[in-house]
A = this chain, B = another copy of it.
Amino acid sequence: MPMNREPPRPGIPGASTSGEPRAARGDAVPDTAVLLARTALFGSLETETLGRIAAATAMVRVTRGSLLFRAGDACTGFHLVIDGRIKLSLHSAQGAERVVELPGPGQTFGEAAMFLRMPYRVSAEALADSRLLHVAATAVFTELEQDPRLAHRIIASLSMRLHRLVGEIESQSLLSGTQRVVGYLLSLADAPAAMETVVRLPALKNVIASRLNLTHEHFSRILHGLATAGVIRLDGPDIRIPDLEILRRHSG
């Protein structure tokens, strides 16, 4: 097996009954309701509401390389990543792939398709062995009737995603390849300090390249260009950034 950059935590007891709603004693997975309460969508909801949603939530385990769903499949709910990494991608008629997003722990995906009651537009593949929660659409819809706060959250979350997608379009049409890479590296380095920062790419380089709408060859050249310019240093999957400000100013 090739390099696996995000191995599952070593000590997870088998618990082979995947799809079980609530994790039991000793398992590394916290309570479903607790996990849901940590998301932007369900944070600070009433305990009862949360409980009912948790009851309609199932744990899903996917192994590296397996498909969670593909574009065109019916959508029965949305997903929350517990651990691992998922690749959301579009596919052209000729087979070309374009990675759209790489949700990791704490992130959700599939809400838009769920609320539209339309099939998925993207395919989802596990880049590492992953555990997710699948929240059934029906539960969300029934709670939505009752709780205006939940509606607020959903609206805010969708708007935020819309906002970010516009940013995506902006970066793709107005920025050069190098600028997109720089912007991406800066977005990974959430620390705003001017100190040396190390970022780890959340997936293999060819995946990141596609996420940035570049070929992996071009991405490689850009990275090495930045390295010879001295604004980053390459170290396998890690990228050392001596000074974030200098990198930010490096327009290309």
The residues of A with any CB-CB pair to B shorter than 8 Å are: 90, 92, 96, 98, 100, 111-113, 115-116, 118, 121-122, 144-146, 148, 151-152, 154-156, 158-163, 165-170, 172-175, 213
Contact = CB atoms under 8 A, between A and B. Distances in A.
B162 A161 contact: yes
A156 B113 CA distance: 10
Given A92-B175, A151-B154, A165-B166, 20 more contacts: A90-B166, A90-B174, A92-B174, A98-B169, A98-B174, A100-B166, A111-B159, A112-B162, A112-B166, A115-B158, A116-B160, A144-B148, A151-B151, A151-B155, A158-B158, A158-B162, A162-B162, A162-B165, A168-B169, A173-B213
B156 A155 contact: no
B159 A116 contact: yes
Contacts of A151: 144, 148, 151, 154-155
Contacts of A122: 166
A168 B86 CA distance: 22
A162 to B, nearest CB: 4
